[in-house]
Chain A
């Protein structure tokens, strides 16, 4: 809570400091701390945790227990500073976008201006949930990204899904071991909901221990969308080192999900473990074209948002938002 004050200070500096790019960087730099994102017209707040960027080793070594081949070769990657949401996006939060009741409420905004009416609205989900505090599930990557776009329009701050590299960097919290808390898998139950302790369901966010950044449920609960398309050879292509890499292509499947879920065994919860989407998640959608917004059999898939510390230029805003793709 102490950080709230810092946040409001940050916010005012941020809004005044729009003269030049370097001014912004400077004002952001001095206020790169935890903040709560307000959403005008609701009492919802999103706690955003700062993740200081840096160079780290992406992937897992060959001798890591439970490792898959697609987690190698390990290589150095640089990621820039970003904030990441403390917990996975919850139903109560997502419903603000779904029901669009707070859209016209105005308040103090960041300096990104996009028209909120231009953000397409999602259809109602077809999934069982009891919303408050529980992670949004069954969501498509596009629907997750549209939430980010809507939130950007609403707040004036740039939000998007994390890249695969950002996600792993944030999950590790400086640890190159199998989990953010080390290699001892018996500790997993203190940090994560997975197949042995979840009772086959998602749980309210933030009930287990956080990692070193203060992020909750990076391991388990729901697997989280990232921006990247999946290839078992991603890391071979990225080679010896990469700066802020992201692998994007047109194909809707497979795309990467990270962190494992309440359904998975502990190997899939490892920091380096890479999951990916399949057609099966939408096969029970009886309509053609199939829903852009919802899967049917992906009750273990949710998402978390990030905000890069350096905002993209206006013409680049769309680059890191997911484009819709019709599915038949």
Chain B
């Protein structure tokens, strides 16, 4: 560990030197923009994490600017990278946008380094456990970044993301985090109306991600324990962060955004009522958290993965002079104190926010300007969700400051599928599941 740190510091100093040199020549342009424009205007991208979302993000990057070229892919699994390439070839047949050969498909635990090295912009879309490591490497290598939410699964990861995010800012590297509601018109319009006092001050709110749940990838013969967990990653805390972090982060993030702060503390309850199959790992199927904010505002956050119940993915806030309801279906309604609609967002023609986040990123990169760094927003939203998870797992009140001081590190260094997985099943194949009142954090 110590050795690694030293090396990191050395390479960091080398990078800093290069940046300073470039900085003299190109004034405010980021270090690698010279490179960007010298290659016939092509912007090279690499994707790290080739699942459905990674493939989607590549496609949005390619749509964002005609000069974008995919030059490298990395995934822990070869078949995932192959599927991704096949989908992209179907979508862009005979296109020069996909510059991939077998030599530029990298697989395994260190694959991300090779892929990142080849690109100007990297797309980080693996399960969130690996995001801090990938982000750190990308910024060290002076790459612009699009990374999916959540940005970590534990506090150690959050601390790394914050540190690297500051480095990105210093280096003037654009960073977009895939909390796409920030790039969606109904949210932005309603937020600006709140800022102008349309509902007074937000007093309370309710945020929801209640749905039937997600895919399961059952154990297959010949898999090592670690491979199984990385395939069926949604059900392992170290990889996924539980669904309160992996999905519900979107809604919790809106609470932070609209209130203008992270919470001071969280308390809540949760458990596994129907999520009890042999491929269901260790995550809960429901969480209910109260987040308390600095001016006493309380946000009730609920997320559920249970089939046959009410589905609702939405954010609702009450202010001193009215209320708001928002959802990702371009919906945004403001009501006054008499419950009368005073604003109803017409989103029929609004641009797809997943596209918009890439449009803005690549416009910034093309212009050679430093325009965005979503890192702290992404870290705060992720940490808020982790705080909520700590509250439901432990059944205790946990403060933000306490949590940020914790030695909470779920993700080990991994080099091979034969490495020991960080959680192991008992003789009955059951994984350790948090128990409120018994699970503790300090």
Contacts and interface: CB of A to CB of B under 8 A. Distances in A.
Interface string B54-80: 011111000000000000000000000
Interface string A294-328: 00110100000000000000000000000000101
Contact of A124 (B51, B307, B330): B307
Interface residues of A, number: 24
Nearest to B214: A124
Interface residues of B, number: 33
Interface in B280-317: 307-308, 310-314
A131 B310 contact: yes
A299 B331 CA distance: 12
A95 B310 CA distance: 12
Contacts, number: 71
A123 interface: yes
A90 to B, nearest CB: 13
Nearest to B314: A128
Contact of B53 (A98, A123, A287): A287
A291 to B, nearest CB: 9
Nearest to A96: B308
B90 interface: yes
B333 to A, nearest CB: 9
Given A124-B212, A124-B213, A286 B307 contact: no
Interface string A273-299: 000000000011111110000001101
B170 interface: no
A284 B328 contact: yes
In the A-B complex, the 5 residue pairs with the closest CB atoms:
A124-B212, A287-B52, A328-B91, A288-B55, A288-B56
B307 A297 contact: no
Interface of B: 51-53, 55-59, 87-88, 90-91, 180, 211-215, 307-308, 310-314, 327-330, 352-355
A125 interface: yes
Query: What's the dominant secondary structure at chain A's contact region?
Result: loop
Contact of A123 (B215, B313, B327, B328): B215
A26 interface: no
B307 A289 contact: no
11 contacts: A126-B211, A128-B313, A285-B56, A286-B56, A286-B180, A286-B354, A287-B56, A288-B55, A288-B58, A289-B87, A328-B88
Contacts of A299: 329
B87 A288 contact: yes
Nearest to B305: A124
Nearest to A128: B312
A297 B330 contact: yes
A297 B329 contact: yes
Contact of B212 (A125, A286, A289): A125
Given A95-B308, A124-B214, A128-B314, A289 B52 contact: yes
A98 B59 contact: no
- Name the residue in B214, B308, B354 with the highest tally of chain A Cβ atoms < 10 Å from its Cβ: B308
Contacts of A286: 53, 56-57, 180, 354
B313 A130 contact: no
A128 B53 CA distance: 22
Nearest to B313: A128
Contacts of A128: 311-314, 327, 329
A328 B53 contact: no
Given A98-B307, A287-B51, A328-B59, 4 more contacts: A123-B215, A287-B52, A287-B53, A288-B52
